[in-house]
Amino acid sequence: MSRPRDSVILTTSVNGLVPVLVLVAVVVTFRGHNAPGGGFAGGLIVAAAVILRYLADGPRAVDRLPVQPMTLVGAGLCLAVAVAVAPLFVGGQVLESYIWTLDVPAVGKVKVVSSAGFDLGVFLLVVGAVTGMLAAFVEADDAEAPDVVGSAILESGPADDRAPDGRVADGRLADGRSSADPTGGGPGSRR
Amino acid sequence: MSVTLAVLAGVLAAVGTALVLHRTLTRIVLGLGILGNAVNLLVLAAGTPPGTAPIIGRSGRFGDPVPPALVLTAIVIGFGTIAFLLAVAYRSWTIDGSDEVEDDIEDRRLAEADPHDADDPDLDADERSVP
Amino acid sequence: MTPWMALCIVVPLGGAAVSLALHGRLLAQRVIGVAAVATTVALALAVLVQVDHDGRISADLGGWPVPIGITLVADRLSALMLVIGTVMLFAVLVYALGQRAQDERSPWYVPVYLVLTAGVCQAFLAGDLFNLFVSFEVLLMSSYVLVTLEGNDRQIRAGITYVVINVIESTLLLLAVALVFAATGTLNLAELPRRLAELPAGVALGLNLLLLLAFGLKAAVFPLFSWLPDSYPAAPSPVTAVFAGLLTKVGVYAIIRTQTQLFPGELRTLLMVVAGLTMVVGVLGAIAQSDMKRILSFHIVSQIGYMVMGLAIGGVAAIAATIFFVLHQIPTKTSLFLVEGIVERETGTSSTTGGAAGMARRSGPLALLFLLPALSLAGIPPLSGFVGKVALVESGFARDAWVVTAVALGVSLLTLVSMVKIWSGVFWGDVPGRTAATDGTLGTDAAEGRDDRDGERPVAGVLRRHPLMSAVTGGVVALTLAIALLAGPVYRYCERAARQLAVPAGQVGGPAAGEARGENP
């Protein structure tokens, strides 16, 4: 699981696919206001792109992530909560949504909805949570690698993917477990 | 209410229940996923017939938004829970290499202990050495 | 409209967000955690004051009216639960910070705990079944993480049971919610009583049983309790304290709400049987155990039986007694687990068969901090448990529920027996092995016994070594004493809450909700 796949086809197609997926995710996120889509679906698409990268490049893809996944979760939740609370300061109610119509030169009328910020928060949260889970699993897998290298290779060769009694230091998987939680918090904040 | 959906939900619920009753954690996780899907289908089937999205300002026959909302929420929650359970299963496997759900250890110990010896000082001494 | 109710949910969630973003900075996380929960306590108090004045307040999130939007509703029962719940969450958070244990050092502890807080608040304020379902999920999801935070063998084993059982519970709840919606076309708690009354009796009964099954699993009533004594003791003590004090009571709260408002008095006989068996089986289980944490866990089950008994007896007096009992139970149970946490921290074990013996000799005040809530749990006058039990028994006699009342009295006695077991195993006797911490102030314990703030001025070595933990435990014990001291006003509030719940189904919906909305333009 931790070894990169040396598949030229996969690597090449992923290189082309990832930008497209991110673009699709952005479209899906913003059309979610009154059509199928939204932050959750968009976030999952980006997360799928990250997972594709991982499948093609192996753990390097996770190590190279530009942002810490948990920072992303925090930022997303912050944004969502901020958008939920903001109307209180202008005399509205929690989670109230406002629509502004702007006249942008050369583009025409653009509708800006304040709840798009909420969707963006959910988007960030989902991307962070899913990549966080992936990172935690990869890390747990890596932590096991010494066992595999140390014992299993000598005995039965590299074909053995995992040592069945491979032990991981205590608390190692804390990341994996906890990263599942913001996803649980997600639906609560979505509503 | 669509008969196909209802029957499908029933079959999935049966499969899910059978899987949950296993002792292997991975099967339980799979079973919970399938059980969740069975309920999700049932929720959809329990809703009113399909229609257009109920957005204020539009006309036409509206679908009822509540069942899909329930299902979406349940799917998201199920996604998180299954991910968590898989992490726990993985952790359990890294700890003792098994995938089995164990009994309550303390309970089993109590059940095996002779009740008449509960206040026996010898037993106390034994137990003192255990921790 | 006043945004307090919504802020009760949003503030802890916002705290969770900020503390997640501050990933890795423990001190900042703790400050944010304590500040957020403290703010929530203040907000909950504001809600309580307003609710007691107005009767019932509701808020439509996002400005959408009832059939479309999400409604938060607070009546006297939910406001009371909200206050006691947030106070306990606050106390346990501070306690956990003082414990300096492994789990609390995890960067996940504070964010997850704040999400749990948000979930609990949302559950008490939910105005519809959908929202109730979501809030259960939020608090369950965070409780999964808290139960298995250390990730050791024992926690994972117990955590698996806990998670699987609760996922099944969620599935059942979702099913129940969906079927209720299919049958009535609404999920609003204010609208439901009227619609449910129009249903054929069989359909209503089925829905009722399904909801009771789901909430009963959460509340750990008789046939559905066996997961609790297995999984709770595996969690770290502060986590167990908050679970014992709160999470099962959220289930009880949901049962109270459904059984009084949605299906008033329908399942009385069933509830009566369930109540009796829950009490008896719980307390017998407790007597058989030889570990303080497990004894206390079985007591959670046993005490749930009393609450269900009040519901089964029915009528305003019994419901008021139930509410009072829940109110007394939350801090009492929490404080017992907090004391257990100190014992475990000090001796490394909570076994009643050695290891932890002689705690009273090492710290008299700690023994007192255990003794007060323990006696209260058993229902010894003049403590709060006595008031609650008297009220329950009285309403039982008034309604000729002789059998269950007799069972309740017998179980009280057995509760005392198992508390004596803890007392003699953990607090009495000589300190095993090591020499007792020299404790010159032991003789003054009796004189200070009546002092509520005992724990805040640690006089013995044990308490001095854990000042924050002791202070919090002392505070929670003081709270239970305060409930006993102020039993009169508190009980009158419970009666007002019970009368509000007993308003005939038809009137709950339209006028009350409408009037409340009119007040908050």
User: pLDDT tens string for chain B (131 positions)?
Assistant: 578 888 999 999 999 999 999 888 889 999 999 999 999 998 888 776 777 777 767 777 777 788 888 888 899 899 889 989 988 888 888 887 777 777 767 777 777 776 555 444 444 444 444 44
B73, B81, B97 ranked by CB distance to A164: nearest: B97
Contact B55 A34 (CB under 8 A): yes
* Distance of alpha carbon C252 from alpha carbon C325, whole angstroms: 11
Written as one string, the DSSP assignment of C463-507 is HHHSHHHHHHHHHHHHHHHHHHHTHHHHHHHHHHHHHHHTS-HHH
CB–CB contact A93 C62 (8 Å)? yes
d(C-alpha A150, C-alpha C243), whole Å: 42
Taking CB atoms and an 8 Å limit, are A70 and C118 in contact across chains?
Answer: no
- For residue A147, the model assigns a pLDDT of 44
Do C63 and C80 touch, CB atoms closer than 8 A?
no
Q: How far is CA C414 from CA C14, C290, C411, C418, in A?
A: 45, 15, 5, 6
C198 vs chain B: nearest CA distance in angstroms? 19
Instruction: Please answer yes or no on whether C13 and A94 come within 8 Å at the CB atom.
Output: no
| C148 contact A CB<8A | yes
Q: Is A95 on the interface with C (CB under 8 A)?
A: yes
Phi and psi angles of residue C74, each rounded to the nearest 5 degrees, phi first = -125, 120
Q: Are A180 and B73 a contacting pair at CB < 8 A?
A: no
DSSP SS3 for B62: strand
Within 10 A of B57 (CB to CB), how many other CB atoms are there?
5
Q: C374 with C423: CB under 8 angstroms? A: yes
Q: Judge whether A90 and A8 are in contact, CB under 8 Å.
A: no
Tokens 């037993």: give the residue. Answer: B123
Cβ-contact C408, C318 below 8 angstroms: no
A136 touching B (Cβ < 8 Å): yes
Helix or strand (DSSP H, E) at C59:
strand C57-60
Strand positions, DSSP E, chain A:
99-104, 108-113
Identify the sign of the CA torsion C343, C349, C351, C355.
negative
Which residue in chain B has the smallest CA separation from A144? B94
Q: Which residues of A touch B79 (CB under 8 A)?
A: 183
Give me the amino acid identity at C207. L
The CA distance from C246 to C218, in Å, is 11
**Neighboring chain B residues of A173 at a CB cutoff of 8 Å:** 87, 90-91, 94
Q: Cα(first)–Cα(last) distance of chain A, in Å?
A: 37
The amino acid at residue C155 is Q
Q: Is C131 in Cβ contact with A70 (below 8 Å)?
A: no
SS3 C284: helix
Tell me the two tokens of residue C382.
């003049």
- Check if A188 contacts B (Cβ < 8 Å): no
B to C CB pairs, distance under 8 Å: 115
CA–CA distance, C476 with C336 (Å, rounded to integer): 10
Interval B1-34: pLDDT, tens = 578 888 999 999 999 999 999 888 889 999 999 9
pLDDT of residue A154: 35
Q: How far apart are the C-alpha atoms of C295 and B83, rounded to whole Å?
A: 33
Determine how β-strand A99-104 pairs with β-strand C57-60. unpaired
Considering only CA atoms, which of C401, C381, C242, C223 is closest in space to residue C311? C401
Q: Within chain C, which residues score under 70 in pLDDT?
A: 1-2, 66-67, 100-105, 354-357, 431-462, 504-521
Percent of chain A clearing pLDDT 90 (strictly above): 10
State the Cα–Cα distance between residues C475 and C90, nearest whole angstrom: 11
Q: Residue A146: what pLDDT?
A: 44
Q: Pick from A165, A177, A184: which is nearest to B87 by CB?
A: A177
Q: Which residues of C touch A77 (CB under 8 A)?
A: 13-14, 16-17, 20
**Is B81 at the interface with chain C, CB within 8 A?**
yes
Question: Which residue from B minimizes the CA distance to C136?
Answer: B77
Annotate B82-117 with DSSP letters as a single string.
HHHHHHHHHHHHHHHS--BPPP-HHHHHHHHS-GGG
Q: Is the pLDDT of residue A104 over 60?
A: yes
Please write the tens of the pLDDT for every residue from C295-348: 899 999 999 999 999 999 888 889 999 999 999 999 999 999 998 888 888 777
Tell me whether strands A108-113 and C71-74 are parallel, antiparallel or unpaired.
Answer: unpaired
Q: How many whole angstroms separate alpha carbon A160 and alpha carbon A149?
A: 10
Residues in Cβ contact with C164 at an 8 Å cutoff, skipping those fewer than 6 apart: B20, B28, B32, B85, B101
Which residues of chain A does C9 touch, with a Cβ-Cβ cutoff of 8 Å? Answer: 188
Q: Which of C94, C100, C104 minimizes the C-alpha distance to C473?
A: C94
Buried residues in A18-53 as b, exposed as e (16+ CB within 10 A)? beebeebbeebbbebbeeebbbbbbbbbbbbbbbbb
Cβ distance C102 to A171 less than 8 Å, yes or no, reads yes
Could you give the count of Cα atoms lying within 13 Å of C299 in the half-sphere of its Cβ? Answer: 35
Residues of B with CB under 8 A from a CB of A: 53, 55, 73, 76-77, 79-81, 83-84, 87-88, 90-91, 94-95, 97
Residue B19 to chain A, least CA–CA distance (Å): 23
Which residues lie below 8 Å from residue B13, measured CB to CB, with a gap of 6+? B35, B38, B39
Report CB contact under 8 Å: A77, C17: yes
Its CATH class, for the domain covering B3-104, is: mainly alpha
DSSP-derived secondary structure letter, C263: S
Span A68-87, mean pLDDT? 86
Contact: C141, A96; criterion CB under 8 Å: no
CA distance linking residue B16 with residue B32, whole number of Å: 6
* Contact between residue C386 and residue C379 where contact means Cβ atoms under 8 Å apart: yes
The three-point CA angle C223-C229-C233 to 5° equals: 165
Q: What is the largest CA-CA distance in chain C?
A: 71
Gap between the terminal Cα atoms of chain C: 6
Q: Decide if A177 and B79 are in contact by the 8 Å CB cutoff.
A: no
- Could you give the CA distance from residue C96 to residue C106 in angstroms, rounded to a whole number? 12
Answer whether A34 sits within 8 Å of B53, measured CB to CB: yes
Contact (CB<8Å) A40/B76: yes
Amino acid type, C423: W
* C-contacting chains (≥3 CB pairs under 8 Å): A, B
Asked if residue C295 lies in contact with residue C286, where contact means CB atoms within 8 angstroms, the answer is: yes
The token pair that represents A149 in the structure block? 């290298």
Paired with C433 in beta bridges are none
Long-range pairs, C478-481, Cβ under 8 A, ≥24: C478/C452, C478/C453, C479/C87, C479/C331, C479/C335, C480/C328, C480/C331, C480/C332, C480/C335, C480/C372, C480/C373, C480/C376, C480/C383, C480/C384, C481/C372, C481/C383, C481/C384, C481/C452
CB C72 within 8 A of CB C66: no
- Residue C184: C-alpha distances to residues A151, B21, C133, C505 (Å): 63, 33, 17, 15
Chain A hits for B81, CB-CB cut-off 8 Å, are: 180, 184
- At residue C174, the 3 state secondary structure works out as helix
Chains that touch B (3 or more CB pairs under 8 A): A, C
Omega cis (within 30) before A158 = no
Query: What residues does C312 pair with on adjacent strands?
Result: none
Number of alpha helices (DSSP H) and beta strands (DSSP E) in chain C: 25, 2
Q: Any chain B CB within 8 A of the CB of A60?
A: no
Are B43 and B74 a contacting pair, CB within 8 Å? yes
Cα(C303)–Cα(C262) distance, integer angstroms = 24
Residues in C 42-81 with any Cβ partner in A closer than 8 A? 59-63, 70
Report domain extents, chain A: 8-190
Q: Which residue from A94, A171, A181 is facing C61, i.e. has the nearest CB? A: A94
Q: By the CB < 8 Å criterion, does C187 face chain B?
A: yes
